[in-house]
Structure 1
Amino acid sequence: MGILRRTIATFHTEFNELPTLRKLKQVLTDRIGFNGCIDTLRIILKESGYEWSKIDDNRKALVEKHDIQMLRFQYLRQLKKYRDEGRYIVYTDESYVHTTHLQNMCWKPVKGVSAVQKKLSKCTWVIIVHAGGCEGFVPNARLVYKANSTSGDYHDNMNLDNYKKWLTTQLLPNLPVKAVIVVDNASYHNALLEKAPNSNSNKQAMQTWLTEKNIQFDEKMKKI
């Protein structure tokens, strides 16, 4: 994502032209091996907060939405505040290694010694969870385990329960007082202990929730 944003931000100064989907796709293919189609790139841009805006001569330029910009400004200001206070800032993330993550060709040490061969196993992932900051990785915070998902998506193996267990047993006990933890927007990072009813909830669930929260309402009211 960082490469995508930097490429868009410097496209005009680097290539002296406005980015188009086709041109942007070519640059990303050359730099990071992006192998998606133009429609896929369009979806990624939209989900990343970009939109097309008209400029001079009725042309369109790829710009970041203002609300996304404001969220970044707020994040950077808050981060600077914590740094000025001397607080320890730690960044966390989850990733994976697949058993087929090997090069098709490699160097052999000597003649007669077998080269590293690409494994043919499927759907075998190793999940890696860790945290670190300016002083390196947090001691005893590394979590590595074999995924057991059969859905074809390693994200299914890192859910709220797994994340809470790692957070409370491995990360928090090894952080200094008043440390700041930076996380991304994964769904299990933003889970609510108690979800409020929404438009898909039935009327009885809405009434029960309102009653528990001591919010007055007329029982004759419709869901809307």
Structure 2
Amino acid sequence: MGKKELKKYAATKIDILGRSKLVKRIHDMWAANDEVTVDGLLMWSQQNIKFEHGRTIFFHLLGGLGFVFKKKDHNTIVEERPDIVKRRKEFLKKKEELDTEGVLYAYFDETWAHEGMSSRRGWQHANSTMYKRARLVDVDSPMAGPRKGKEKGRRAIVLALLTEKGIVDGSERFNISGGPIQNQKEDYHHEMNAAYFEKYMEETIPLLVSMAAEEGRRVVIVCDNAPYHSRTIKKAPVSNTSRADVEQFLRDHNLAFQREMTRLQLLELSKDFVECNGGAESFKVYYFDTWAEGHGIEVLRLPQYHCFLSPIEFVWSQMKQHLRSKGSVDDSLQTVRQRGLNFLKGFTEEAASKLFRKTEKLECEIREMLWEKQHTVEDSSSPLLYELSDDGIWRPISYVEDDDEDDDDEPLTSDSDLSSFEIDDAGA
């Protein structure tokens, strides 16, 4: 029995409602910042969902429910901020509507590259310290090991637009920074600004307009919420907004006010109106969105901290891996630049399609988790129904009023079916 089949069989050891309760228990422990362990969950399952099997089966059962033991990679506190949760739901809803329409997505982003980008790993003497390596040096072979690749140097800002067809031809930019190396900060974003971004879009939007005409499809640009992407021309009043501007906002939205009201009272009136109508974000009008709309292009912004929903983020990862694998510590920035441009120009439609499918799958998984969270209840008369996917993961598909959902589950004959498998769950 392979690992995938093993997980499937193990997951049948509890019923549908038990699976739902176990998943909810894990989510609750995350929310409470409690450490999730196999032994702790096993004890809880034995007491609360009448799990009657051993640790080995339970370990594989967790895999059948789609859980893995790996390095923690989510900032849950940030991701679960109410405003971010709200924006995530809005993004997924809008994205689903646009998917149905069949629009042509163009994902935009920027990243960096620097001179001397080369492999971070290489064959070396096993002796770990510099002193021990130095003892291995002889006159004929004075190198104690390979030179370490650079982590900093003259830098370039890389920009591009990605569609399902690949990198948009003519959208690639590899602009070399003019600032001295010693003044470069680790975060390259301070070198970008709204004027630079808007100039780039003025040059590349015509390319998208041409593609839209050829495809007979509407174009939607997807970008993140970086400040230089989000220059506002209108927004809701804030604490330092002048009285005249607050009054104009109230007039624009047909809100009555009295002349003798103080500025703070006017602000409070506007604040109540904003909170009752979607929050401050709903009242922002972005310069870029308005300008793009004039060219028949819609702008969709990713929620904060959700860059993993943008396929072009994975392009950057592949590009940097390519630059490091092909590069040398002595490479000039011009050499790195040309190598990077060649990579982007050669990024194939097949490679782009794979990345689009990857992020679409992530979107679907998030929607399913949101659906599950909304519908999971403790009422055993209305259990959550799952289907088992080809990759051995249980996914919620609907809610049913039926006590016989498990009829098709293939049972394990005994715990001995799993006895031949060795488990490496140290630390889990």
Please say if 1:90 is aligned against 2:113. no
Are 2:206 and 1:173 aligned? yes
1:189 and 2:224 aligned: no
Partner SS, residue 80 of structure 1: helix
Kindly name which structure, 1 or 2, has the bigger radius of gyration based on alpha carbons: 2
CA distance in 2, matches of 1:75, 1:89: 14
Q: What are the equivalent positions in structure 2 for 1:123-162 lying under 5 Å apart?
A: 124-148=154-178, 150=183, 152=185, 153-162=187-196
Alignment of structure 1 residues 51-66 onto 2, 5 Å? none
Offset at residue 159 of structure 1 (A): 1.5
Counterpart amino acid of residue 161 in structure 1 = A
TM-score, with structure 2 as normaliser = 0.34
Describe the shift of the 1:209–1:169 C-alpha distance in structure 2 as closer, same or farther (beyond 3 A).
farther
How many corresponding residue pairs?
176
* Pair 70,209 (structure 1): closer, same or farther in 2 beyond 3 Å: closer
Determine which structure has the larger helix proportion and give its number.
2
CA contact (8 A) 2:106 2:221 kept: yes
Q: CA deviation at 1:143?
A: 1.5
State the alpha-carbon separation in 2 of the partners of residues 166 and 21 from structure 1: 47
- Structure 1 residue runs without a partner (length 5+): 1-11, 33-40, 51-64
Structure 1 stretches (4+) deviating beyond 6 angstroms?
A: none
Identity level (%): 22
RMSD: 4.1
- Give unmatched runs, 5+ long, in structure 2: 1-21, 37-68, 124-140, 213-217, 265-428
Cα deviation, 1:187-224, whole Å, max 9, x if unaligned, reads: 222220245552124xxx33256359866765543331
1:76 equivalent to 2:92? Answer yes
1:3 is matched with which residue? none
Distance 1:209 1:93, change over 3 A: same
| Higher relative contact order, structure no. (Cα contacts within 8 Å, ≥ 6 residues apart) | 2
How far residue 173 of structure 1 moved from its aligned partner, in angstroms, is 0.8
Query: Are residue 223 (structure 1) and residue 260 (structure 2) matched?
Result: no
TM-fit CA distance, 1:70: 4.7
**Structure 1 residues 219 and 90: alpha-carbon distance in aligned structure 2, compared to 1, 3 A threshold:** same
Match of 1:6 in 2: none
Query: 1:91–1:133: 8 Å Cα contact kept in structure 2?
Result: yes
